Amino acid sequence: MTRDVSPVGVPVCYRHPGRETYVRCTRCDRPICPDCMRDAAVGHQCPECVTEGRRTQRQPRTAFGASALGQRGYVTITFVAINILMLLLSVASAKNSGAALYGRSLGGLIGGATPLMDKLAVLGQCDAGGVTVPCGVADGEYYRLFTAMFMHFGLIHLLFNMWALWILGRALESMFGPARFLAIYLVCGLGGNVAAYLFQPGALSAGASTAIFGLFAVLFVALRRLRLSTSSVLPVIVINLIFTLTVPGISIAGHLGGLVTGGLVGAGVAYAPRANRTTIQVGVLIGAVALLGLLTLWQTGQLSAA
């Protein structure tokens, strides 16, 4: 039996004692063999030094405080999946799945309401035998202001919104990071739904477009903050506004409410000074939710007193 013994005085890899080497880690100066070499800016490092460097090195962040994790788009993908799932559940709750998917408005492109839609969409007033009475949100079902942003009137409605979410969401999640993007999306959607509750309480309102209009505004503000061109975003916003104001059956209040909310929240989050960036960003988002909550309670009082 033979043993692999290195000549006296010849350095060996600290992780593989049987391997001779004349290469040393540039950080700890221990000998390392080719299997243990990790390329560095200068020379090579051993695996332990590489791991330690990653742990202690400050990770690069965007101008808005996001890490590289946002580039993977996990939140955007999750939102798309939730919206698809909710449409499937909505259609399953309907007696006529075809009418739920398409055929009710816009030349047969947009579907109709379903039992699940009636329970989760924004609604503040109902007609009870010719008398308008509070119902839905005004009857204490405040969860509708959140759930409505995941409900859609059929397949085409869903596809348009998910296409816009896929483009806007990945860009903004990369800029702001998963946590900030998640909060921004929900606050924008909430702002649009509260506006629909304030100005069109008798209309059944739903869709991710309240949040998406907010994302348009956030992207515009973020590009301005970075001093980048907004020429690709502004025309899209204008076209969508024209579409909103001219096509019947669209929640004008919801779209405009989402746009305004996105502009205000986007400005607060994007222009937060670096020194207290996270604190100010959290404060802006919490303040927006608090204000929207007060407006909701005020409208509930108005509808209940009528």
The residues assigned a catalytic role are 209, 255
Q: List the structure tokens of 295.
A: 């407006």
Closest CA to 12 of 3, 4, 21, 24: 21
194 contacts 205 by C-beta, under 8 angstroms: no
The token duo for 53 is 């460097």
Question: Exposure pattern of 94-118 as b/e (b: 16+ CB <10 Å)?
Answer: beeeebbbbbbbbeeebbbbbebbe
Using only the alpha carbons of the chain, give its radius of gyration: 27
d(C-alpha 69, C-alpha 59), whole Å: 11
Q: Which two tokens stand for residue 264?
A: 């205000």
Strand-pairing partners, residue 260, are none
Tokens of 46: 């051993």
Nearest to 47 by CA among 20, 22, 17, 13: 13
Q: Match 């607060």 to its residue by tokens.
A: 268
Residue 39 phi/psi, 5° resolution? -60, 135
Whether residue 164 contacts residue 212, with contact meaning beta carbons closer than 8 Å, is answered with yes
Query: Tell me, what DSSP letter sits at residue 127?
Result: E
Q: Rounded to the nearest 5°, which phi and psi values hold at 21?
A: -160, 150
d(CA 258, CA 265): 10
